[in-house]
Amino acid sequence: MRVITLLITLGCLTLSGCSSVFDKHVEYKYVEPNNYPTLKAVGYAPISLQQGNNSSQKQLMAIKASKLEAYRELTEQVYGQQITAGTTVEGSIAKDDYLQSKVHGIIKGAQIIKTYAVNDTYITELELNMKRVHDLYIGEIKPREVKKVTYY
């Protein structure tokens, strides 16, 4: 009985030892999507309501605010929004009602298409071409899948 157990153990060690003798070479191919959407966003900011000592400063602040609003809208499209809401009811009467929205994300590769004023509102139009985002992603992350494995 001991001889059979010894032979089985020795056989298993021999077989598992052979696998470490062989080496392998793995070839990868990069995966690319079939199509790339283009996301668009528009940001608005009132010029006269901006803080500033004169109309030029107010316009510059409106330019910045409209650009940030456009980026916020793009971030909402890419990552979504976190919504927090609640209502307090006392004696079957709504006492307190609140709604809060939060957006968190990083936008890379967006381009300003147009920035202009219409009456008292400054407008910024952004575009996010997902092909460009994919190219930036490939450059940093390099996602891949196994193309071929060769054992020798």
Burial of residue 54 (CB within 10 Å: 0-12, 13-18, 19+) is exposed
Query: Model pTM greater than 0.75?
Result: no
For residues 36 and 11, give the distance between their C-alpha atoms in angstroms, rounded to a whole number.
Answer: 55
79-to-47, 102, 105, 152 alpha-carbon distances in Å: 29, 11, 6, 46
Residues 6+ away with beta carbon under 8 Å from 102: 81, 82, 83, 84
For residues 32 and 137, give the distance between their C-alpha atoms in angstroms, rounded to a whole number.
Answer: 11
Strands in the chain per DSSP E: 24-29, 38-46, 82-90, 93-102, 111-118, 121-129, 145-151
The domain limits of the chain are 28-147
Print pLDDT tens along the chain (152 aa): 665 665 566 565 555 554 555 677 777 777 777 888 999 999 999 999 999 999 999 999 999 999 999 999 999 998 999 999 999 998 888 888 889 999 999 898 899 999 999 999 999 999 999 888 878 877 776 666 777 777 77
Burial of residue 82 (CB within 10 Å: 0-12, 13-18, 19+) is exposed
